[in-house]
Amino acid sequence: MDKLRSVLGGNDGGGSSRNILQAADEASTLGWGTRVKGFLVCMVIGIVCSVLGVCCLFIPKIGLILFIVFYTFGNICSLASTMFLMGPVKQLKRMCDKTRAFATVVMITCLVLTLCGAFWWKIFGLTLLFVILQVIAFAWYGLSYIPFARDAVLKFFSMMCSMCMK
């Protein structure tokens, strides 16, 4: 607390090379236990929202909109949960790695387009297409964290396609 007070007061401790972002980062870091709790809370909220969204599909008239909102919010919470484990800056850097950049862009685009399709354009067939693409993009993004998982999935589907062609 004294370090933060001295930095905000203009005294950086006699020529230290730290900047205000480093001081704020040090002041706001969470302990490992708190990070795990935050991860679990966000992940549980994400899973509950996604399941609740699927259950809402069976409500007449508003079920589809509730599904879209809950499912998209669930995916956002699940994505945010990993920021507790790594920290937001490191997570954003990893999301923009060359191996994940395309999956990240597609995933975030599908999240936004799903909500636009439901509330702005009100074209539910298109919205469901964006939900399906959202699921695929989220899965492809998640697989990027598992070594060789994407290669295994591609090999599996190429094997299945070659079997269907025969």
Query: Tens digit of pLDDT for each residue in 88-114?
Result: 888 888 999 998 899 999 999 999 999
Helix axes 63-86, 124-143, angle to 10 degrees: 20
Same domain assignment for residues 37 and 114: yes
Looking at the structure, do residues 112 and 46 belong to the same domain, yes or no? Answer: yes
pLDDT at 77: 94
Question: Has residue 6 got a pLDDT over 60?
Answer: no
Q: What is the number of domains present in the chain? A: 2
Whether residue 93 sits in one domain with residue 68: yes
CB contact at 8 A, 73 and 42: no
Give the CA radius of gyration of the chain: 21
Q: What is the pLDDT of residue 136?
A: 92
Whether residue 76 is found in the same domain as residue 23: no
80 in the same domain as 7: no
| Whether residue 44 sits in one domain with residue 24 | no
Per the structure, the complete domain to which residue 54 belongs is given by 31-165
Checking if the pLDDT of 117 tops 60, the result is yes
99 and 17 share a domain? no
CA-CA distance, 164 to 166, in Å (whole number)?
Answer: 5
Whether 16 and 48 map to the same domain: the answer is no
pLDDT of residue 17: 53
115 in the same domain as 86: yes
24-78 residue pLDDT tens = 455 557 788 888 899 999 999 999 999 999 899 888 888 888 998 999 999 999 9
pLDDT of residue 122: 83
Please tell me the least confidently modeled range out of 1-10, 44-53, 99-108, 128-137. Answer: 1-10
Q: How many CA atoms lie within 13 A of 103 on its CB side?
A: 19
Q: Are 12 and 75 in a shared domain?
A: no
Q: What is the pLDDT of residue 4?
A: 41
Amino acid at site 57: L
140 and 72 together in one domain: yes
Q: Say if residue 70 is in the same domain as residue 111.
A: yes
